Amino acid sequence: MTGNKVILRNRLRNGKHEAQIQLDCGEDNICVPDLKLAVISDKSEVYLGDENALSLIFNARNEGEGGAYEAELYVVLPPEADYSGIARNNGSLTQLTCSYEADNQTRHLACDLGNPMKSGTSLWAGLRFTVPRLTDANNVVQFQLQIRSKNFNNSESNEVLLEVQVAAKAEVILQGVSRPDKVIFPPPNWTARHSLGVEQDVGPELQQVYELVNNGPSVVSQTMLEVRCPLRAHGHALLYPVEVITVGPISCSSKTTFNALKLKLQAPERESPTSLKSSAEHYIQRREVIRDPLAEQGNLTCVSAECWKLHCDVERLEKGSSIILTVRSRLWAETFIERPYKQHILECSVQYEVNKMPYSIPPKFKPSGSRKVIS
């Protein structure tokens, strides 16, 4: 077999000049390529709810003795995917020319690999896609790729079915802050009352604000949120829980009665969720030293004190959505004024656990987390 050549000849047909391609592949005029294709993806998973940008990197080779004429990479797109363009961020990749076509329900790419794709050719190139239309009906997305030529023999490469796993994943963030971050006793302009009529009579206000955010990409449909805070220690009241304020799809309940004394409530100041920033330290400061068990206990936690518990059920959270939970309490001024000069730290704990995501494809893990909020 001699070297392969392409001979162009003009001929007149129906009054028009046409270019005729003839293959010069030796005496038998038969070119026999040996086309090989290997494909890898830069992502092993795509996620429900995401745009899912991914690149397919492929190696196309002709290991035969003859050239492959009008050689193209033929790619059948899955219905979930869209073509974005050629991968251009790597100088070692060949820059291709591709055409996109759609007929009936099939969409495909045809990318020029050479005419001819000479014997011994080995090229690397990349294609970019997005996969925005995922459903949980299938647990894989499948791309079909093949090299095709116009040769009579060995005109096609091996067919590559590249599968990318479909998964559910959500990044959930829990934030918490206590306001104010410092209370000094005795509070300014505060006098003890023999009888309590309004919530201010108990002592200074303490607000704890929690925000649970779903950063996505997938949806979470059921999440448990639980808050615990010190209620009393050594027979002394610490906090008087007043009320719970919620924003978003969340409902809460507690075995501890909030505002048990049925005091008249004041209108709370409500701050924007964007201002949730944790302070480095939060203190309740006192004046004089009285030797009693409570005075000796600096850190008041749910390990060393009796705590109230608030259980909350969070419903469906789309990507980017959140809930806000504000717990208003009053510090029992009488307890702390009796123990001046003593610094205490009140520690509340909050935890969450995602119980359910609305997909038939189970998530590899369900987000959970906790944090401490110090007052």
Is pLDDT larger for residue 364 or for residue 17? 364
- Answer whether residue 209 shows pLDDT above 90: yes
235-288 residue pLDDT tens: 888 899 999 999 999 999 999 999 999 999 986 555 444 445 433 333 334 334
Q: Is the pLDDT of residue 32 over 70?
A: yes
Cis amide bond preceding 241, omega within 30: no
Residue 145 has pLDDT above 60, yes or no: yes
Least confident segment among 24-38, 297-311, 341-355: 24-38
Span 170-265+274-374 CATH architecture: Sandwich (2.60)
pLDDT at 19: 52
Report the chain's mean pLDDT, rounded to a whole number.
Answer: 84
56 pLDDT more than 60: yes
pLDDT at 175 exceeding the cut of 50: yes
The domain 32-167 is placed in CATH, from the list 2.40.50.140, 2.60.40.1510, 3.30.360.10, 1.20.1250.20, at: 2.60.40.1510
Q: What pLDDT sits at residue 14?
A: 55
Q: Answer yes or no: is pLDDT of 12 > 60.
A: no
pLDDT given at position 182: 78
Same fold, 32-167 and 170-265+274-374: yes
> What pLDDT is attached to residue 275?
43
Query: Which value, to the nearest 10 degrees, does the dihedral of the CA atoms of residues 150, 152, 154, 156 take?
Result: 30
pTM of the predicted model as reported, rounded to 2 decimal places: 0.78
Q: CA 104, 108, 111, 116: dihedral to nearest 10 degrees? A: -70
| pLDDT reported for residue 89 | 73
Which region among 14-28, 145-159, 166-180 has the lowest average model confidence (pLDDT)?
A: 14-28
What residue type is 227 in one-letter code? V
Task: Give the mean model confidence (pLDDT) for residues 199-226.
Answer: 94
Domain ranges for the chain, please list them: 32-167, 170-265+274-374
- Structure confidence by residue, pLDDT tens digits, 295-317: 444 578 888 889 999 999 999 99
Confidence of residue 343 (pLDDT cuts 50, 70, 90): confident
**pLDDT tens digits, 192-205:** 777 888 888 888 89
Q: Note the pLDDT of residue 139.
A: 95
Q: Would you state the pLDDT for residue 375? A: 73
For residues 316 and 89, which has the higher predicted lDDT (pLDDT)? 316
